[in-house]
Amino acid sequence: MKRKEIKDILLYDETLIKNDRVFDPEYTPDRFGFRDSQLQQLTYNLRRGIMGGNPVNSLILGPCGTGKTTSVKVVFEEVEQSSDKIVPVYINCQFNSTPFQVFAQIYKKVVGHLPPETGVPLARIQNEVMRKLQRENRCLVVALDDIDHLFYDKYANDILYDILRAHEKYPGVRTGVIGILSENEFRFILATKVHTVFHPSEIFFDPYTRSQTYEILRDRVLHGLVENVLTDELLSYITDLTIDAGDLRVGIELVYRSALEAEADGSRKILQEYVDRAHAAEARTIHLKRILQGLSPPEKALLKILAENQGEMPSKQVYTLFEDRTGHKLKKYNAVVGKLEALRLVDAPYVKKVGRSRRIILRYDENDIIRYLK
Ligand SMILES: Nc1ncnc2c1ncn2[C@@H]1O[C@H](COP(=O)(O)OP(=O)(O)OP(=O)(O)O)[C@@H](O)[C@H]1O
Ligand SMILES: [Mg+2]
């Protein structure tokens, strides 16, 4: 190795990533192209709510990574800036799937803080929300993202009914719902389950074409990476991998991880080998992401506790934090640990000491867990 090369590595303090927020799954891009007609339909459906009428309910449909969630967030941001006649509430049903959880989120937005966790009946929470809307003559619009999660516990109908029929109990109250669904087949389930209250106008999000995908990714590179780190040819290569995966998120993640691989190697440019390495890592985590998606809130809470504590802790400590955060007792805790063990997400060996104490050990990288649990 030449002396100059050694020096290069030693003095190398540059990063290839200019702004890593741009690669965050929650990031809303400044430029959100190719979705004008969907944004327009969504906005039209809400407009009547601003004019003092009832908003038109919407059902947003389309495959993964086609901008459904982002579109709702973009429109909600605009609504909030331009009128106080509508209260838009975004709810991710993966994390809020019971009527209480859903209404707690609505309450938080309308009243300004979360309701107390225990002892307050659902009806009282709903009453406070609806009375306040009535007094202020504001229209409530609730976006239920990944609404299929409400089907598992058969709450979908109750929740939609309580939101959409509120005017029967509280005259003058105006409400609307935006449902968001990734899987087309759920559309028919939804139609049979809640056909009496929810008559949505459907808005379709079709997959991005190859050139649209390329352009979106190029925009991310421009905002997120230092100039000239990634060639057009390699971006084109990443685009192909993204199209194969059928989810734009894969491409965004690949750009980011390739840059990290290059950095770790002390390279100032992203080379194909880094993309391939990132791609292989991505393939490994796809499995993890799928499992995480199907977990219940207490199961996710436990993983998060471990991830926040270097991935390993005595069971006793995990339980204390778990009880604090979820309110669940030992029986539930043991059941959750058992399930996470069965899914091979954690190990829970007994340690040779007094009594039967266990350690809970995460089997995956804690940063990955935190990232994908978001
Ligand atoms: N037109 C676009 N321009 C820029 N970025 C986009 C565009 N569409 C989607 N994205 C980005 O792709 C990622 C996925 O988008 P989003 O979460 O909105 O998809 P989705 O349709 O809700 O997916 P899912 O069905 O999996 O929930 C996000 O990082 C988002 O910023
Ligand atoms: Mg989404």
Residue 246 sits in the same domain as residue 283: yes
Task: Select from 93, 26, 232, 33 the least CA-distant residue to 240.
Answer: 232
Indicate the pTM of the whole model: 0.81
Residue 339 sits in the same domain as residue 268: no
Does residue 20 fall inside a structural domain? no
| Sign of the alpha-carbon dihedral angle for 25, 26, 32, 34 | positive
CA of 65 to the centre of ligand 1 (A): 4
Chain position carrying tokens 């799937």: 97
Residue 101 sits in the same domain as residue 240: no
C-alpha span between 298 and 300 (Å, rounded): 5
What average pLDDT does this structure show over 111-140? Answer: 93
Does residue 120 fall inside a structural domain? yes
Does residue 251 fall inside a structural domain? yes
User: Could you tell me the CATH number of the domain that includes residue 243?
Assistant: 1.10.8.60
Does residue 9 fall inside a structural domain? no
Does residue 23 fall inside a structural domain? no
pLDDT at 11: 57
Q: What angle do CA 230, 231, 233 make, to 5 degrees?
A: 130
Q: What are phi and psi of 352, to 5 degrees?
A: -70, 100
- What pLDDT band is residue 194 in, cutting at 50, 70 and 90? low
- What pLDDT band is residue 174 in, cutting at 50, 70 and 90? very high
User: Counting ligands in written order, which one lies closest to the CA of residue 62?
Assistant: 1
Residue 61 sits in the same domain as residue 198: yes
Residue 300 sits in the same domain as residue 212: no
With a cut of 80, say whether residue 333 has pLDDT above it: yes
Which of 271, 292, 313 is at the close of a domain?
Answer: 292
What one-character-per-residue DSSP string does 197-237 give? T--PEEEE-PPPPHHHHHHHHHHHHHHHB-TTSS-HHHHHH
User: Could you tell me the CATH number of the domain that includes residue 335?
Assistant: 1.10.10.10
> 18 is written with which tokens?
């200019």
Q: Pick the more confident residue, 212 or 5.
A: 212
Which of 264, 292, 320 is at the close of a domain?
Answer: 292
What are 237-248's pLDDT values in tens digits?
Answer: 999 999 998 889
What are 16-51's pLDDT values in tens digits?
Answer: 999 999 998 889 999 999 999 999 999 999 999 999
Per the CB < 8 A criterion, the answer to whether 242 and 251 are in contact is yes
Report the residue among 66, 213, 238, 292 best suited for mutation to probe ligand 1: largest number of ligand atoms under 8 A from its CB.
66
Which of 244, 264, 292 is at the close of a domain?
Answer: 292
What average pLDDT does this structure show over 321-326? Answer: 92
Residue 135 sits in the same domain as residue 181: yes
Residue 76 sits in the same domain as residue 128: yes
pLDDT at 152: 67
Residue 100 sits in the same domain as residue 238: no
Query: For the chain, how many structural domains are there in total?
Result: 3
CA of 340 to the centre of ligand 1 (A): 29
Q: How does the average pLDDT of the chain come out, rounded?
A: 90
- Sheet with 312-314: list strands edge to edge: 312-314, 359-362, 346-347
Does residue 30 fall inside a structural domain? no
Give the nearest ligand 1 atom to 219 CA: 4
CA of 7 to the centre of ligand 2 (A): 46
pLDDT at 65: 92
Per the CB < 8 A criterion, the answer to whether 373 and 303 are in contact is yes
> 69 is written with which tokens?
């969630």
Residues pairing with 178 in the sheet = 58, 143
Give the nearest ligand 1 atom to 63 CA: 25
With a cut of 80, say whether residue 2 has pLDDT above it: no
Look up residue 314 and give its DSSP letter: E
What are 150-171's pLDDT values in tens digits?
Answer: 876 678 889 999 999 999 999 9
pLDDT at 201: 94
Q: What are phi and psi of 246, to 5 degrees?
A: 70, 25
With a cut of 60, say whether residue 56 has pLDDT above it: yes
What one-character-per-residue DSSP string does 77-114 give? HHHHHH-SSEEEEEEETTT--SHHHHHHHHHHHHHSSP
> 275 is written with which tokens?
């993309």
What are 269-318's pLDDT values in tens digits?
Answer: 999 999 999 999 888 787 788 789 888 889 999 999 999 999 999 999 99
Report the residue among 248, 253, 293 best suited for mutation to probe ligand 1: largest number of ligand atoms under 8 A from its CB.
248
CA of 268 to the centre of ligand 1 (A): 29
H or E element, residue 347: strand 346-347
Helix (H, G, I), strand (E, B) or coil at 329: coil
Residue 108 sits in the same domain as residue 170: yes
Residue 288 sits in the same domain as residue 299: no
Does residue 8 fall inside a structural domain? no
Per the CB < 8 A criterion, the answer to whether 190 and 153 are in contact is no
pLDDT at 16: 92
pLDDT at 193: 63
With a cut of 90, say whether residue 346 has pLDDT above it: yes
Residue 81 sits in the same domain as residue 175: yes
Residue 136 sits in the same domain as residue 51: yes
List the domain range (segments joined by +) for residue 222.
Answer: 208-292
With a cut of 80, say whether residue 184 has pLDDT above it: no
Residues having CB closer than 6 A to ligand 1 are 25, 27, 29, 32-35, 62, 64-70, 182, 216, 248-249, 252
Does residue 278 fall inside a structural domain? yes
Q: How far is CA 153 from CA 150, 189, 194, 228, in A?
A: 6, 14, 14, 50
pLDDT at 288: 86
C-alpha span between 228 and 18 (Å, rounded): 12
Helix (H, G, I), strand (E, B) or coil at 142: strand
pLDDT at 372: 85
pLDDT at 58: 96
> 372 is written with which tokens?
């994908």
> 347 is written with which tokens?
């190990």
User: Could you tell me the CATH number of the domain that includes residue 147?
Assistant: 3.40.50.300
Per the CB < 8 A criterion, the answer to whether 181 and 59 are in contact is yes
